[in-house]
Structure 1
């Protein structure tokens, strides 16, 4: 189990690093969108390539960051009933979900998606739109994204089994991994709160 927990921590680290940098794809899509709008208005020039590169970047951002999202438990869940269940019941629901639903789904997507990626790479398929882009780079996000998601599902599965065996922390507990920016912001908030409390405290009565 300790070896599996090391594997889990390695997967968590990998998806944390991916999530840290994939956010720049959103920024890049925003920049491309703004430049396209400016060029179209000022020079009356545009291209379908500008539009397609935006959704390429968007596709990469949400597919490749799927594992990072699962790591931080940010996927949409229906917790009306689940949140009222005992911790062990919630853990078993997650274990069954990761093992019998998430993993098979990812394997099916990889089984069907990788041959399509290879086919489009070998054929050099281009977009059907005038000025469109080559297709295989956006298809590449599919196997990468679902591989990272599957690995994170295994990591979450390991953490839940370890907790049930009494060999790991509560995987449903509060997330404590924060970025340096978040830690700095929290420290500044604590400092401001302490300063405000000191200023609002009544002065000692004079004798």
Structure 2
């Protein structure tokens, strides 16, 4: 049991760390948007690179934060019945949902995106727009990276639920 708890704690530490790192992207995105608005409306100038940087930052935040969202139990779910379940019933639902939906979906997206990312790296893809950002392949690499983090958190969540069913739950946020 201690090995299982250590594995969960390690995965959740990684997910929390990635969440703290990506949270700084929100501040950076706000600054970039303010700069874009200022240059566009006050200076009557516009930059394709700045506009692309806005959606690159948003995409990174969305992809990398998915695992953190799952960890904090802030993902979208219809709680009509779930909220009334006991801890063990919730654990069964979480295990079933994780094994039937979350893990296969994550593996499918990692597998499906991998050739897309590799091809982008091989051709050193950059923006097709004049004045756009180079290194688009780095952004595309965030697709499997984000789903790997989501997959890892899914595994940790399933293992947490297994501990609940075993009568030896790991306290929320313990050592994370």
TM-score, normalisation: structure 1: 0.78
**1:114 is matched with which residue?**
114
**1:24 is matched with which residue?**
24
Larger radius of gyration: 1
Distance of 2:87 and 2:168 partners within structure 1: 16
Contact 2:88 2:164 in 1 (8 A): no
**2:8 is matched with which residue?**
8
**1:88 is matched with which residue?**
88
**2:144 is matched with which residue?**
143
Distance 1:68-1:125 versus aligned 2 partners, 3 A rule: same
Secondary structure of the corresponding residue to residue 145 of structure 1: helix
Distance of 2:78 and 2:27 partners within structure 1: 30
Distance of 1:154 and 1:176 partners within structure 2: 16
How many pairs does the alignment contain?
174
**1:185 is matched with which residue?**
none
- Cα RMSD for the two superposed structures: 1.8
**2:129 is matched with which residue?**
129
Q: How far does the alpha carbon of each residue in 1:16-38 deviate from its partner, in whole angstroms, 9 at most, with x for none?
A: 11111211101111111111121
Q: After TM superposition, what 4+ stretches of structure 1 lie above 4 angstroms from structure 2?
A: none
User: Which fold has the larger relative contact order, with Cα–Cα distance below 8 Å and residues 6 or more apart in sequence?
Assistant: 2
Distance of 1:98 and 1:111 partners within structure 2: 18
Secondary structure of the corresponding residue to residue 132 of structure 1: coil
TM-score, normalisation: structure 2: 0.91
Secondary structure of the corresponding residue to residue 148 of structure 1: helix
**1:49 is matched with which residue?**
49
